[in-house]
């Protein structure tokens, strides 16, 4: 048996502002942006590199979904972004005024910092040892 997770849905306020953040600030690839209806699109972004899971940017369709924008994990770190150059990506976060919640530090598993995306979801930026 072979299985893998290929997409993780991330509820966003607006497709275009989310694409702008992930593509122009985090330098993710825009994998797909397909219009499904007047209000729904299939938008996939992913970090540069091979073998990465895609984020499915899902614009909130109602008030109930909107309540979870920015807090899909109950205030815990939600997503973990591995990098081959911590310093490059950490400086990129600062350059784009992306909020750093926990400054860079060395851990047994590598160098790590916590940042918020445009909606407040927490991310670990990690350069593994």
Range of the domain at 59: 1-69
20 and 51 inside one domain? yes
Q: How crowded is the C-beta side of 53, counted as CA atoms within 13 Å? A: 15
pLDDT tens, position by position, for the chain (129 residues)?
999 999 999 999 999 999 999 999 999 999 999 999 999 999 999 999 877 899 999 999 999 999 999 999 999 999 999 999 999 999 999 999 999 999 999 999 999 999 999 999 999 999 999
The confidence score (pLDDT) of residue 121 equals 97
63 and 79 inside one domain? no
Domain final position from 69, 94, 112: 69
55 and 102 inside one domain? no
CATH number of the domain that residue 92 is part of: 3.10.180.10
Distance, C-alpha 47 to centroid of its chain: 9
């Amino acid at each position: 048996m072979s299985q893998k997770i290929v997409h993780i849905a991330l509820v966003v306020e607006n497709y275009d502002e989310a694409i702008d953040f992930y593509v122009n600030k985090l330098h993710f690839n825009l994998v797909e942006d397909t219009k499904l209806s007047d209000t729904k699109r299939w938008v996939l972004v992913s970090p540069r590199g091979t073998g990465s899971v895609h984020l499915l940017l899902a614009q909130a369709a109602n008030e109930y979904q909107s309540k979870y924008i920015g807090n899909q994990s109950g205030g815990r770190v939600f997503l973990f972004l591995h990098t081959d150059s911590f310093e490059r990506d950490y400086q990129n976060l600062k350059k784009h005024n992306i909020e750093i919640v926990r400054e860079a530090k060395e851990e047994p598993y590598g160098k790590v910092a916590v940042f918020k995306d445009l909606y407040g979801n927490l991310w670990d930026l990690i350069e593994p040892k």
